[in-house]
Structure 1
Amino acid sequence: MSTAKGGGTAGEGNDGAASGNGKRSRAGSGGTSGARSGAPVVPVTGPPAAPLTAGRIGLYVLLLLAGVLVAGAGTLVQAAWFPGGLVLALGGVIGLFYGGAKATGTSAGVLVPGAAWLVTVFLLLGNVRPEGDFLFGAGLGSYVFLLGGIAVAVICATAMQLRPAGLRPGRVGG
């Protein structure tokens, strides 16, 4: 026979009452809690924020200026020698964004020159003189340069955020 509250047999007596008014504890429910006992639960966070020092600010200013220069040079080169100039201009953009990410170790190393490049390119794109002169033509190379540069910036910034900081390679959850 079972008791009304404890769920045990009649021969067990008051064991159910001694463990909290006949209610079962969660630890004895037989289910798993998701974490192993004894293993510390460490929250997964991004890489630690780098301190903002004078050297780091100087590096960001240099990356900002390099973004403006690469945008201006790429605008002129991509139209000058069509297939090779476009590849050279996109190579400069890739080198700038990837190098900025590696130099700073943060995603800001991509975002600072990327923002400078984007603003410069769109200012050069929108700057039309009354004589009809402009730097960007309406050809395929200009669009590939614009969209390719934006895609490279997004890829480099995303790849920078996906890198785990200080974690050992291994199986997740085990």
Structure 2
Amino acid sequence: MTTSKGGGTAARRGPHKGGADADKGPDKGANKGQRTRASGGGAAARGGTPAAPPGGAPASAPLTPGRVGTYVLLLVAGVLVALAGTLVQAAWFPGGLLLALAGIGALFYGGSRATGTAGGVLVPGAAWLVTVFLLISDVRPEGDFLFGPGLGSYAFLLGGIVIAVICATAHQFRATAAPRGRVGG
């Protein structure tokens, strides 16, 4: 929103040619390029393009080589966090379970912040989920398995899924939230 000091996109493009604001007031357009609170309208109403969401990159960010590399690193990190969490949560119960869930949360939140898109949560989340369910189903003929039939294993599985959903939902709230700034000004 432009202020009386002349900031914003309308002041950078120059004064308006005609329009509703040019015929108002005794000085006939002395306030060109400035909006009042009642005039409303955003960039789209002034003929500009709408701004990107305030959460960082737009929802449909183009795939650049750097972004693809970030997604590949998040995919590998998702697999590694799943393997480490599987071993740690059973080894030091309940501290290991909390450590494994904290690692999952850090990975998902960090992926969301690093990419600025929902894919930053979905890519490591999918890698984590597939890895954990492959580890669950891998029972050797000797009877060896990584997940025991205890409460900690179920808490790790459900906790990881809940953390992924929370991080993805929090990213959506950040992407659609109103920009921070002064109220009424």
TM-score, normalised to structure 2, is: 0.67
2:179 maps to amino acid: R
1:88 maps to 2:89? no
1:57 is the counterpart of 2:68: yes
8 Å CA contact retained: 1:71, 1:121: yes
| Equivalent AA in structure 1 for residue 108 of structure 2 | F
Measured after TM superposition, the shift of residue 38 of structure 1 is 4.2
Q: Equivalent residue for 1:39?
A: 40
Q: Alignment partner for residue 138 of structure 2, among 127, 132, 152?
A: 127
Q: Does structure 2 conserve the Cα–Cα contact (< 8 Å) formed by 1:46 and 1:164? A: no
The share of aligned pairs that are identical, in percent, is 70
For 2:123, the equivalent position in structure 1 comes to 112
Q: Does 1:74 pair with 2:85?
A: yes
Give the 3-state SS of the residue equivalent to 1:70 in structure 2: helix
**Aligned partners of 1:90 and 1:154: how far apart in 2?**
13
Amino acid of the structure 1 residue aligned with 2:41: P
TM-score (normalised: structure 1): 0.71
> Runs of 4+ in structure 1 displaced over 6 angstroms?
43-46
* Distance in structure 1 (CA, Å) of the matches to 2:175 and 2:83: 35
Query: Is 1:161 the equivalent of 2:162?
Result: no
Structure 1 portions without partners, runs of 5+: 1-35
Q: Rg larger in 1 or in 2? A: 1
Whole-angstrom distance in 1 between the partners of 2:175 and 2:118: 13
Structure 2: runs of 5 or more not aligned:
1-36
CA distance in 2, matches of 1:83, 1:161: 31
AA in 1 matched with 2:66 = G
The CA deviation string for residues 74-123 of structure 1, in whole angstroms up to 9 with x for no partner, is 00010011111111111110110011011111110000000000000000
**Closer, same or farther: CA 164–114 of 1 in aligned 2, 3 Å:** closer
Aligned residue number for residue 12 of structure 1: none
Distance verdict in 2 for CA 1:46–1:132, change over 3 Å:
farther
Distance in structure 1 (CA, Å) of the matches to 2:177 and 2:164: 25
Cα shift at 1:169: 4.0
Aligned-residue Cα RMSD (Å) equals 2.6
Q: Give the number of aligned pairs.
A: 137
Deviation for aligned residue 1:51: 1.8
Give the letter aligned to residue 165 of structure 2: V
CA distance in 2, matches of 1:45, 1:154: 27
The equivalent residue for 1:32 is none
Say yes or no: does 1:151 pair with 2:170.
Answer: no
